[in-house]
Amino acid sequence: MKHIHFLIGLILVIFMAGCQGTAVRVDSLKVEMQENPQGVSTSTPRFSWQITSVKPDLRQEAYQIQVAGSEQDLEKGNNLLWDSGIVADAESILIPYTGETLSPREVYYWRVKVTTNQGETAWSKINHWSMALPDIAGWQAKWIGENALSNPGETDKGNTRLAARYLRKPFDSKQKVKRAVLYISGQGAYQAYINGKRVSDDVLAPTVSWYPEKVYYNVYDVTSLIQRDSNLLGVKLGNGRYFGMRESPTQVFGLPRLLAQLEIEYSDGSTDVIVSDESWKVTSRGPIIANNEFDGEEYDARMELPGWDKISYDDTTWKQVDIMSAPGGTLTAQPNPNIRVQEELTPVAITKLTDGKFILDMGQNMVGWIKINRLNGKKDQPVTMRFAEMLNPDGTLYMANLRSAKVTDIYTPSKDGDFSWEPSFVFHGFRFVEISGLDYQPELSDFTGRVIYDQMETTGQFETSDETINQIFKNAYWGIRGNYRGMPTDCPQRDERQGWLGDRATGCFGEAFVFDNALLYSKWLQDIEDSQSPEGSISVVSPRYWTIFNDDVTWPAAYFYGAKMLWLQFGDTEPVKRHYPSMKRYLERIQQVSMQDYILTKDTYGDWCMPPESQELIHSKDPSRKTAGAVLSTTVYYSLLNLMTEFAQLTGNTKDIAGYQELASKIKEAYNARFFNTDSALYDNNTVTANILSLRLGLVPEGYEQKVFDNIVRKTEVDFNGHVSTGVLGIQHLMRGLTEQGNVDLAYRIVTNRTYPSWGYMIENGATTIWELWNGDTADPAMNSANHVMLLGDLLIWFYEDLAGIKNHPESTAYKKLLMEPKFPEGLSHVKASYKSVYGEIKSEWKKENGTFHWNITIPGNSSAIIRLPKELNVSTPTGKGIRNVTETENSIEIELGSGNYHLTGI
């Protein structure tokens, strides 16, 4: 763009879509960031809403929230528990409740009304939420299960093996039910039924946790499932992470167990409580004879228990349940939504192998499982499915990178004829499925790929004129959602699947443009705190199913960066407040054990997964490519001190600030004395990572920035021929770093490369997700997943902030105010992006076409934007509604826009 001189005439078009009247509306009502949530545990739930108008420049000036115990009361304004009154405030997200004390279990109704610069809204529709049980006093239920390994082959050693438990409890409902609520936790995972119907579509519930500290339970309104007189509550219990997949290093906490409390309120005001206790029956001799997240599920239809989940079933052969010990952690209402089936795929091809097996191709590396819609089985002849991400050259499954994970689902028919089936307690990461045990060629429609991840909205779309970028975005999209399972995991396929911190340190920001991941990440930060050692060490895998206290810095940084992301992206300051003390403890611990002469010495993983010198290696052995651990630890620790300064300000811990700043400046001085070569303006051995971390994290002495940057560019262009040379650490800063110092063209070259090493090279080699290694096609399979997201670094942030110009203004959080300053790399002619922020959907689409420039922008209600374009474009001064201000500086023109739709044209 800088090469083309546009004369931009700015035409403002306000799309008066459906231009009936001038009504201002308030909608998208949320409590604790969810619509009508059940089981809220905070005593001060926070309210959010969005406002819209057909006219531009909509601003909230005041709001009024009302809360009552019933819809009728709220409508009439009677017995209000909270009437905020008219509060003169522009804020429309996360406003905390300050009314009368809320009671556990109760349902509350709320509405909001807003005064804007365009007039008042009507009262919003009425939404509701329910409160959780009181922590301990609320529970009368006991943990129950079957406290034995009672089937052949079962073991809690090595590769664990255990059948699912089936539990049942008949109960009567004497009257007409007004409200029935099920509070339930089944560890590791449960599926609950009332009278044969699932209580929800959630799968693999509840969310994972560090059980010795925290145990989550779910809350479901089951009123409609209860029938008059006799009822049956049935629960299937799987192993999940509680009865872990491996005895070591993954932990086995104990045998599965259930806690359930069904509270019924009748129309006459009387109540009943059905709880898990010794009156329940259990069997582990059901059809799910094994379920293990790494190894798969085995289903023996000959052992089916037809009707076990209905009242009429005869359970005389079942045992009385055992009372089990509590897992230990605090019982807490789950704050984040559970996993669900979020999409379905039909396979694209079936091939027959010479040995009679079939290979299904899903056309996409996905995470979930295969649902068999209809297959013709033979009695006693198992149908076996194995899962893999890639194929060998001979068309068989490539299983070498799965390590000890057996990834095998088996269904054994009880009779000849059609059957359908899907597993209950496992998932796989796969594109290809090998099917054996069939005597005929099945059809594509016999199978459905069920794609699973945490229930959340897709918030971002992104498309450009460049096909490589588009496919990278698509691969990222599949990779990110494929690795959300109550925690962000490293990978979904091999015998690992852990919440590795380092993989998400910066990635979490980019992900937050594409997915509404706020509740997932705030829950994961709690897992990190729950996994912290008494000394303050952070486990680089959290929840610490693998306990690894390295006392290094680069992986634990995700704890701090994640909290900052939630604040910046969603406006949620709670995580910073909640975790401030434990973050501080960690920083102190690191000073004690790792800091020598103001250099942080401990580091475990280096610049993990940088491209090695030879393509079959996993890690480079060449010292000139490796960045010193102390460089990584020290620069990142320095960034944490600066973050803590911001956090201290936010949380009122201002007395800590001087200490952080003093330490930071000593570290900067020591670091530069030790690693900075002032003559050549390079750090240590001059890796791109060493230089870019120093530059972006603010350690470069004033005046040397350009020279350090020049070294980065030279190294990238000359030594690596315009390719990436960094691993997981450097890549967190590379794209933004190159761009903010003025070389967006080099960033663009890196992202559009199709040769090694690059994201495009992965695509060139058939990737439909992002690889763990730049050389994932040639490296040792010992650590080579085809579905990791850590190498995305800051790429998605760059897509949104720099290519689309969707960026927070430095003074703003949650995009209340944007600074839209798209960059125009040579060769890119079109970018179309959208992001559903907490205030509403932001859109940016620009196009360069035959010498003209077009930019469509949408700014949601109650937010605003400053757009900044280079002066050389000769932008003419715009006028019109929604334009708040125009400023010209020496090099740029800045236009301040209120909410609305705008079309800019340059000629």
Neighbours of 193 (CB within 10 A): 18
Give dist(CA 464, CA 412) in Å, integer: 48
Q: From residue 260, give the alpha-carbon distance in Å to each of 142, 397, 455, 584.
A: 8, 42, 23, 38
**CB nearer ligand RAM, residue 724 or residue 790:** 790
Paired sense of beta strands 107-116 and 60-68, if any: antiparallel
Report the candidate in 244, 240, 187, 195 with the shortest Cα–Cα distance to residue 218: 187
Residues in 488-547 that interact with ligand RAM by CB under 6 A: 490-491, 496, 500, 502-503
Spell out, one character per residue from 169 to 208, where the chain touches ligand RAM: x when CB under 6 A holds, - when not. ----------------------------------------
Q: Structure tokens of 856?
A: 């469509």
Report the candidate in 343, 362, 342, 360 with the shortest Cα–Cα distance to residue 351: 360
Beta bridge partners of 900: 859
Spell out, one character per residue from 68 to 107, where the chain touches ligand RAM: x when CB under 6 A holds, - when not. ----------------------------------------
420 three-class SS = strand
Smallest distance, Å, CB 618 to ligand RAM?
10
**Kind and range of the H or E run holding 558:** helix 557-570
350 three-class SS = strand
**CB nearer ligand RAM, residue 491 or residue 695:** 491
Q: Structure tokens of 208?
A: 């994972």
Smallest distance, Å, CB 34 to ligand RAM?
30
Residues 6+ apart with CB under 8 A from 105: 130, 131, 132, 133, 138, 181, 263
Smallest distance, Å, CB 60 to ligand RAM?
43
**CB nearer ligand RAM, residue 296 or residue 502:** 502
**CB nearer ligand RAM, residue 308 or residue 608:** 608
Count Cα atoms within 13 angstroms, Cβ side, for 548: 20
**CB nearer ligand RAM, residue 253 or residue 608:** 608
User: Quick check: 771 binds ligand RAM (CB under 6 A)?
Assistant: no
Paired sense of beta strands 595-596 and 599-600, if any: antiparallel
Neighbours of 268 (CB within 10 A): 10
By the 10 Å C-beta count (0-12 exposed, 13-18 middle, 19+ buried), 61 is classed as middle
Inter-residue contact 583 to 577 (CB < 8 Å)? no
Smallest distance, Å, CB 788 to ligand RAM?
6
Residues in 454-493 that interact with ligand RAM by CB under 6 A: 490-491
Inter-residue contact 844 to 460 (CB < 8 Å)? no
Spell out, one character per residue from 301 to 320, where the chain touches ligand RAM: x when CB under 6 A holds, - when not. --------------------
Give dist(CA 659, CA 144) in Å, integer: 51
Smallest distance, Å, CB 548 to ligand RAM?
9
**CB nearer ligand RAM, residue 192 or residue 729:** 729
**CB nearer ligand RAM, residue 500 or residue 675:** 500
Smallest distance, Å, CB 790 to ligand RAM?
6
The residue from 114, 410, 472, 790 that contacts ligand RAM (CB under 6 A) is 790
**CB nearer ligand RAM, residue 540 or residue 708:** 540
Distance of CA 771 to the CA centre of its chain: 18
260 three-class SS = strand
**CB nearer ligand RAM, residue 127 or residue 498:** 498
Strands (E), 257-295: 257-266, 271-275, 281-283, 288-292
Report the candidate in 132, 30, 98, 111 with the shortest Cα–Cα distance to residue 838: 30
Smallest distance, Å, CB 497 to ligand RAM?
9
Report the candidate in 272, 185, 276 with the shortest Cα–Cα distance to residue 237: 185
Smallest distance, Å, CB 683 to ligand RAM?
23
Q: From residue 195, give the alpha-carbon distance in Å to each of 190, 336, 629.
A: 16, 27, 59
Smallest distance, Å, CB 498 to ligand RAM?
7
Smallest distance, Å, CB 325 to ligand RAM?
32
**CB nearer ligand RAM, residue 491 or residue 690:** 491
Per rule CB under 6 A, count of chain residues that contact ligand RAM: 10
Inter-residue contact 219 to 183 (CB < 8 Å)? yes
Smallest distance, Å, CB 264 to ligand RAM?
46
Residues in 575-614 that interact with ligand RAM by CB under 6 A: 605, 608
Residues in 617-636 that interact with ligand RAM by CB under 6 A: none
**CB nearer ligand RAM, residue 452 or residue 790:** 790
**CB nearer ligand RAM, residue 263 or residue 496:** 496
576 three-class SS = helix
Smallest distance, Å, CB 500 to ligand RAM?
4
**CB nearer ligand RAM, residue 500 or residue 524:** 500
Give dist(CA 290, CA 151) in Å, integer: 10
Residues in 670-699 that interact with ligand RAM by CB under 6 A: none
* Cα angle: 599, vertex 604, 610; to 5 degrees: 105
User: Quick check: 788 binds ligand RAM (CB under 6 A)?
Assistant: yes
Share of the chain residues as helix, strand and coil, in percent rounded to the nearest 5:
25, 30, 45
**CB nearer ligand RAM, residue 300 or residue 551:** 551
Rg, the chain, Cα only: 29
Smallest distance, Å, CB 540 to ligand RAM?
7
**Kind and range of the H or E run holding 858:** strand 852-859
Inter-residue contact 323 to 142 (CB < 8 Å)? yes
**CB nearer ligand RAM, residue 559 or residue 660:** 559
**CB nearer ligand RAM, residue 604 or residue 685:** 604
Give dist(CA 543, CA 214) in Å, integer: 10
Residues that bind ligand RAM (CB under 6 A): 490-491, 496, 500, 502-503, 605, 608, 788, 790
